[in-house]
Amino acid sequence: MTGSNCAIRGTFFDFLDDPWKHIGQEKEAARFIRDGLLVVKNGRIEDFGPFTEVSARHAEMAITHLPGRIIMPGFIDGHIHFPQVRALGAYGNQLLDWLQNSIFPEEVKYNDRAYATEAAQHFFTALLSGGTTTCQTFTTSHPVATEVFFDEAAKRNMRVIAGLTGIDRFAPADVVITPQYFYNESKRLIETYHRKGRNLYAITPRFAVGCTSEMMDMCRELKKEYPDCWINTHISENPSELRSAKEHFPDCNDYTHVHEKHGLLGPKFTAGHGVWLTNDEMRRFSKAGAAVSFCPLSNLFLGSGLFRLGRAKDPEHPVRLSVGCDVGGGNAFSLIRVLEEAYKVGMCNNTMLDGSVNPREQDLAESERNKLSPYRAFYLATLGGAHSLYLDDILGSFDPGKEADFVVLDWNAGQAAMAWHQSLAAQSAGPETMDAAAQLLFGIMAAGDDRNVDETWIAGQRLYKKGAP
């Protein structure tokens, strides 16, 4: 990998482990260095730790000091749609109608290279200004959209996962493609783009409603030929979608069975949403090493439902989880806003679990796991997301050897709602303890947004500075 050299001094916050494994002692999963130094060579982390120790080892390097900020690993978005930039915020429909009325008519335009290229500028600008440095994205069923996506990501040297979107029914004629065409073009794109620079390829069956068994078989074939590739899809998002999937795959016991039957469920498989997954399906995801991307902005915007976070984090059968904005089903790119909504979903789940309000069996342990503390939230957006995508060996924390993508957060971004949190930090030059930093991070996710992202760095190079032209 190519990249830049730099040495950044400031206050750092990252994770070494999953905070859900440290209930009551979440701090043990995190790392806070009030005055630290991050040394980057050729885009990779060369050294990291307390300033006094690390600076002594790198006397030759010019240091960039970023006081008054919290520096975290770049945010990882596990589920987003590149061709839905211009469809964000479409009014009034739930999933299946929304796809027909707002999404397919827009995606068809991505057969045009110029249209797709212009959208890519907006897409990457929006990601970087929200602090997102890696995404796993859908493109469209037109190969040119995938080519544009990878070419534009490479210009920015970003670590991304994407692939040609397979759909052979339930869409207009200029959106559907045949399984054979999908197979041929996926193969060509994999050979052209996979592991070229920081690009990674995901075999992408859109969802069971839009994919025949023949299309799923092509995905199985591709995975067999290219086992190093990822698989990206949607699952159990909306009740009408679930009914439709059941009708189309009558021999499958549930939605997850469709992917099992076609040999897809396993490591490096991610399905967006999973709102209506049963306990048994979650157990099978866990066992297979497959991941769900939790997309609360979208699940609420499209009225899909409340993802059962605490159930997914069952310590007996934990499911690998990322968070995703799912633009345009989600109505913002910002993972900070996604975390805010994820927190609210956890809170609502706990009302559902409360036996006095709802006659469901009460499960106190599950309700505790539903609570999205700042440790859990920012873990999901960083190391947790990397873990879910099997990228935690190269992304997600400041461990030496990893790729140097990071975000510089400003708690004092001017939002009136954040005055209380800002005043806590203003009493000093910034948070002095891990708890104080976590409180500030919770303030950012509860009342902040992309205005709290001051800078975003990719492979040791600053690609975004708030307010800069």
User: Contacts with ligand GUN in 302-331 (CB under 6 A)?
Assistant: 326, 329
Among 137, 256, 298, 456, contact with ligand GUN (rule: CB under 6 A) = 298
Maximum Cα–Cα distance for the chain, whole Å?
67
**Which of the stretches 95-103, 286-294, 370-378, 418-426 binds ligand GUN when contact is defined by CB under 6 A?**
95-103
Please report whether residue 259 would count as binding ligand GUN according to CB under 6 A: no
Of 326 and 455, which CB lies nearer to Zn ion in the complex structure? 326
Place of tokens 């968070």: 323
Residue 276 or 464 with smaller CB distance to ligand GUN: 276
The size of the chain, in residues, is 469
Contact positions with ligand GUN (CB under 6 A) in 221-240: 234, 237
Cβ closest to ligand GUN, residue 323 vs residue 425: 323
Whole-angstrom distance, CA of residue 360 vs CA of residue 159:
43
- Cβ atoms 225, 192 nearer than 8 A: no
Three-state secondary-structure class, residue 40:
strand
**What angle separates helix 335-353 from helix 434-447, to the nearest 10 degrees?**
90
Counting contacts by CB under 6 A, is residue 421 touching ligand GUN?
A: no
Asked if 302 contacts 238 with a C-beta cutoff of 8 angstroms, the reply is yes
CB of 110 to ligand GUN, least distance (A): 13
* Distance separating alpha carbons of residues 141 and 125, to the nearest angstrom: 23
Q: Which of ligand GUN, Zn ion, none does 34 bind, CB closer than 5 to 8 A by kind?
A: none
In the complex with ligand GUN, the residue whose CB is nearer, 241 or 392, is 241
Query: What is the x/- site pattern for Zn ion, positions 213-242, by CB under 5 A?
Result: ------------------------------
Find how far residue 379's CA is from the centre of its chain.
11
Identify what 275 binds: ligand GUN, Zn ion, none; CB under 5 to 8 Å per kind.
none
326 is a contact residue toward Zn ion (CB under 5 A): yes
Closest CA to 29 of 370, 383, 269, 283: 383
Range 417-422 contact pairs with CB under 8 angstroms and sequence separation of 24 or more:
417/447, 418/443, 418/444, 418/447, 418/448, 421/447
Q: 19, 36, 73, 272: which one contacts Zn ion (CB under 5 A)?
A: 272
Q: What does the binding site for ligand GUN look like in residue numbers (CB under 6 A)?
A: 81, 95, 99, 103, 206-207, 234, 237, 298, 326, 329
Q: What does the binding site for Zn ion look like in residue numbers (CB under 5 A)?
A: 272, 326
